[in-house]
């Protein structure tokens, strides 16, 4: 039987991006065996209407509407938790609402690459690099960006998915890849046709969103970057068994494991 993938899409307004992506998914089926969950994080009525219209008559699409934006990590973790109780899936795929693919079958390409190497934990078309600060120890680290990432579900079950310590966004994907590599798994860039952030700041909704997040969280980019460096380059946690993860990282989502009090 072909592997099953769960695609997780977070939405927070940006209706121009979202309308283009949903139209792209409708016109170009991503794969042969998948489900899609859309978690909307407090969008305006126009965006919610786009989502409802797309999901109508598509039984493979699930929706969860939230009152507020709970962040990237918590949003995808919630999608995983909702669907793991309903569906057995082999891969968990995160996509941003500001991507567009333009061709069918991109999900099958990602799944095929992962199936070819069972030591792969994460794959995707976009890579980024973090460089330790002058005070940090270690080498540059290249990681798969969560804008489009395929994650092996059995690895997430063992080693957790995203850590909500990196709320509302940035470096949660880096932290996940670093954690998986610490336990001997690999990541790989997998080429598929996709554009990311192609409207850039021409979308005024994105400008307003950045201002809102800055007012709510301050300079969370810098804070989460500092958190990442402190964890993996300065503290260098010694992990010998996955059972230690919830105590070392109390905000880490491990499917099926109750969070620490």
User: What number of other Cβ atoms are within 10 A of residue 168's Cβ?
Assistant: 21
Query: For the segment 140-165, what is each residue's pLDDT rounded down to a tens digit?
Result: 899 999 999 999 999 999 999 999 99
Our measurement of the distance from residue 65's CA atom to the centroid of its chain's CA atoms, rounded to an integer in Å, reads 18
pLDDT reported for residue 153: 98
- All structural domains of the chain, each given as residue ranges with its CATH number in brackets, are 5-248 (3.90.550.10)
Q: Is pLDDT of 205 > 80?
A: no
- Taking Cα atoms as reference points, which of 126, 123, 106 lies closest to residue 114? 123
Q: Is pLDDT of 260 > 60?
A: no
Residue 130's SS3 state is: strand
pTM, to two decimals: 0.94
Query: For the segment 21-39, what is each residue's pLDDT rounded down to a tens digit?
Result: 999 999 999 999 999 999 9
Strand partners, 6: 35, 92
Residues 64-93 have a mean pLDDT of 96
Residues 181-192 have a mean pLDDT of 96
- Two tokens, residue 91: 């891969």
Query: For the segment 105-151, what is each residue's pLDDT rounded down to a tens digit?
Result: 999 999 999 999 999 999 999 999 998 765 556 678 999 999 999 99
pLDDT reported for residue 135: 59
Give the sign of the dihedral formed by CA 130, CA 178, CA 87, CA 260: negative
Helix axes 220-229, 172-182, angle to 10 degrees: 10
- Peptide bond before 151: cis, by omega within 30 degrees of 0? no
Task: Band the pLDDT of 101: cuts 50, 70, 90.
Answer: very high
pLDDT reported for residue 261: 46
Residues 224-232 have a mean pLDDT of 92
Q: Give me the helices (H) in 85-219, please.
A: 106-115, 153-159, 172-182, 204-217
State the maximum Cα–Cα separation within the chain, in Å, rounded to a whole number.
55
Integer Cα distance of 64 and 37 in angstroms: 8
More confident residue, 235 or 156: 156
Query: For the segment 33-59, what is each residue's pLDDT rounded down to a tens digit?
Result: 999 999 999 999 999 999 999 999 899
């Amino acid at each position: 039987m072909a592997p099953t993938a769960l695609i997780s899409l977070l939405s927070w307004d940006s209706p121009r991006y979202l309308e283009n992506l949903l139209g792209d998914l409708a016109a170009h089926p991503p794969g042969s065996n998948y489900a899609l969950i859309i978690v909307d994080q407090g969008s305006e009525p126009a965006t919610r209407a786009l989502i409802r219209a797309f999901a109508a008559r598509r039984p493979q699409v699930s929706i969860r509407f939230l009152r507020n934006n709970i962040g990237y990590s918590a949003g995808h973790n919630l999608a995983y938790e909702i669907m793991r109780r309903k569906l057995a899936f082999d891969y968990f795929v995160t996509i941003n609402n500001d991507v567009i693919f333009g061709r069918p079958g991109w999900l099958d390409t990602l799944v095929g690459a992962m199936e070819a190497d069972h030591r792969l934990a994460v794959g995707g078309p976009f890579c980024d690099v973090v460089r330790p600060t002058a005070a940090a120890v270690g080498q540059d680290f290249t990681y798969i960006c969560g804008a489009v990432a395929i994650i092996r579900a059995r690895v997430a079950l063992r080693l957790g998915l995203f850590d909500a310590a990196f709320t509302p966004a940035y470096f949660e994907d880096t932290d996940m890849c670093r954690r998986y590599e610490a336990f001997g798994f690999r990541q790989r860039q997998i080429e598929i046709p996709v554009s990311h952030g192609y409207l850039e700041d021409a979308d005024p909704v994105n400008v307003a969103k950045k201002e809102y997040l800055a007012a709510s969280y301050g300079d969370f980019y810098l804070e989460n970057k500092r958190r990442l460096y402190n964890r993996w380059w300065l503290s260098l946690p010694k992990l010998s068994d996955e059972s230690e993860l919830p105590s070392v990282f109390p905000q880490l989502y491990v499917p099926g494991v109750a969070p620490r009090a």
